[in-house]
Amino acid sequence: MSLLSRDGVKYQGRDQQGLVVTSLPSIRGRLSSVLVGFALAWGVAVSAAVGLVVQREVDALLDNALQESAEVLLGLMTINAAQLPLAGGGAMPAPLHDEQLVWQIVSARNQVVLRSHRAPDVPLAATPHLGLSTQGTEWHVFGLAFGAKGDMLYVAQRGHGRREAKLLTVGFAVAAALAVGLLGVVLLRAQVRRELQPITRLSTAVEQFDPLQADATLGAPTRAELLPLHHAVTGLGSRLARHVATERAFAAHAAHALRTPLASMAANLAVAQLRAAPQEQEHLKRTRESADRLRSVVNALLTLFRSGGEAQRQQVHLGDLLAQLPFGELELDADDEATVEVDPDLLAAALMNLLDNAQRHGARRIRISMTYPEGMAILQLQDDGSGIDAERLAQLQSAMDQQDYDGHTGLGLMLADLVARTHGGRLRLLPGTAGCRVELSLSQHDPHIAPEGARTVAPGRQGLR
């Protein structure tokens, strides 16, 4: 299970057993948060800087335009000074129009002698002033000397017009800077997602990586930063494969070494039982049964390690399989015509252990039924033994669900569960009113494996041998 989130900062999920996995920080989420915060802070800072610079430049541009307009107007008025009606003090005759710039000619006595039609009728400057000046917040004025009598030419621009121009210019500049910043955030997030995809792919490859298979490979890493992790995982896989191979070899050799003396022991016990006095017969019988159970466990272990976790499947009849098992005095109620696609050796080992468990817990009769839900075969065993109390049954089931066998389950249940898992299924202990009910699910490669007319197995031959 991958711990990388798609978009969030943290991931919380469930493992294969349904247990909640502790939430962990997400690399993608943390990087995205940092990049978004940095990009936004950068955008705000750039926007502020751009706004300040643009405001200064707009002020300078408007001041230059005001000065150049005053100088051009002064030149034109100087050329036509004789024709100007300077005595009237009114507005220059002209059609009404919207003036962005207004002008005045003010005499040396600080009286308006001529003005544009939207200019005020009082001087724009309280005292004669050359160059740029600001009259409150309403006017920005540029003054030039007009003629030799001390007259002044004032050209002015309204303050709110300048402010509106600066606001629009700065607004567009800041909006453009923020848009670039947001675009950068989107591109950075997309790039982070792309750069982290190799980690997700490596995680998927590790999840599917089986170091026990000879041709298993993780594939080549696509980023230099992943090389150490890639080497660590492949190294761990190699060490694990060596350990498993060693343990399998040891167990297989041990099982082989034990099987021969156990067979000899069983034979000798059989001979001894025949020759023993009547009062010793029962004791030797129980000893033979113990030896047979030990031999069954050894054979089951040998079969599991021989399989290497791979089921050698074939279609078998349940009756033929049961007929090969030594189940002592137990009476089996089963349909020997039911078929199932399994590894017969592994299933025989599982059934042998389950039957032995039932017999040791007082069972005398076991009913075996088979059902065929889609793609599965369900083998169910119901005995008439002492059963398992609800609390212990829940503990055993939990241990098998988590494959936490050590100290929680016996060898028989563990082997049966491992056989079921090898066939893609599970072992389940089902509650019941009497005895013990065990369900062994086995996946079927062919969903139509059940023969024509297959059904839930009804009681068949009793005391099957």
The per-residue pLDDT for 3 is 44
Mean pLDDT across 26-34:
75
Using the predicted structure, report yes or no on whether residue 443 has a pLDDT greater than 50. yes
Degrees to nearest 5, angle at CA 409 with 253 and 428: 110
Least confident of 27-36, 367-376, 395-404: 27-36
Using the predicted structure, report yes or no on whether residue 106 has a pLDDT greater than 70. yes
47 contacts 174 by C-beta, under 8 angstroms: yes
The two structure tokens encoding residue 452 = 């024509």
Mean pLDDT across 167-184:
79
C-alpha 184: how far from its chain's center? 25
- Give the type of residue at 195: E
359/290 Cα distance (integer angstroms): 12
The total number of residues written for the chain in this structure:
465
Looking at the DSSP bridge assignments, the partners of residue 380 are 369, 439
% of the chain surpassing 70 pLDDT: 83
Count the Cβ atoms, other than its own, within 10 Å of residue 362: 13
Count the Cβ atoms, other than its own, within 10 Å of residue 106: 23
**DSSP H helices in 80-154:** none
Least confident of 297-306, 311-320, 415-424: 297-306
Average pLDDT, the chain: 77
Q: What confidence category does residue 240 fall into, taking pLDDT thresholds of 50, 70 and 90?
A: confident
**HEC string of 136-181?**
CCCEEEEEEEECCCCEEEEEEEEHHHHHHHHHHHHHHHHHHHHHHH
The structural domains of the chain, ordered by start, are 82-160 (no CATH), 212-308 (1.10.287.130), 311-465 (3.30.565.10)
Degrees to nearest 5, angle at CA 422 with 440 and 218: 150
The per-residue pLDDT for 303 is 67
Q: What confidence category does residue 459 fall into, taking pLDDT thresholds of 50, 70 and 90?
A: very low
Using the predicted structure, report yes or no on whether residue 291 has a pLDDT greater than 60. yes
Using the predicted structure, report yes or no on whether residue 2 has a pLDDT greater than 50. no
Q: What is the pLDDT of residues 348-360, one digit of tens each?
A: 888 888 888 888 8
Measured distance between the N- and C-terminal CA atoms of the chain, rounded to whole angstroms: 47
Mean pLDDT across 266-282:
80
325/385 Cα distance (integer angstroms): 19
Q: What is the pLDDT of residues 55-102, one digit of tens each?
A: 788 888 888 888 888 888 888 888 877 777 776 667 776 776 677 788
Using the predicted structure, report yes or no on whether residue 446 has a pLDDT greater than 80. no
* Burial bucket for residue 148 (CB in 10 Å: 0-12, 13-18, 19+): exposed
99 contacts 117 by C-beta, under 8 angstroms: yes
Mean pLDDT across 39-56:
78
Least confident of 42-46, 103-107, 173-177, 295-299: 295-299
The per-residue pLDDT for 22 is 53
Q: Is the pTM of this model over 0.95?
A: no
Q: What confidence category does residue 305 fall into, taking pLDDT thresholds of 50, 70 and 90?
A: low
Using the predicted structure, report yes or no on whether residue 1 has a pLDDT greater than 50. no
Residues 6+ positions from 133 with CB-CB distance below 8 Å: 125, 140, 141, 142, 143
Least confident of 213-227, 245-259, 427-441: 245-259
Residues 6+ positions from 309 with CB-CB distance below 8 Å: 212, 422
Mean pLDDT across 292-296:
71
Residues 6+ positions from 151 with CB-CB distance below 8 Å: 86, 105, 106, 107, 108, 113, 145
The per-residue pLDDT for 87 is 65
The per-residue pLDDT for 452 is 38
Q: What confidence category does residue 304 fall into, taking pLDDT thresholds of 50, 70 and 90?
A: low
Mean pLDDT across 164-184:
78
The per-residue pLDDT for 227 is 85
Residue in the structure block whose two tokens are 């599991």: 304
% of the chain surpassing 90 pLDDT: 1
Count the Cβ atoms, other than its own, within 10 Å of residue 9: 13
Q: What confidence category does residue 196 fall into, taking pLDDT thresholds of 50, 70 and 90?
A: confident
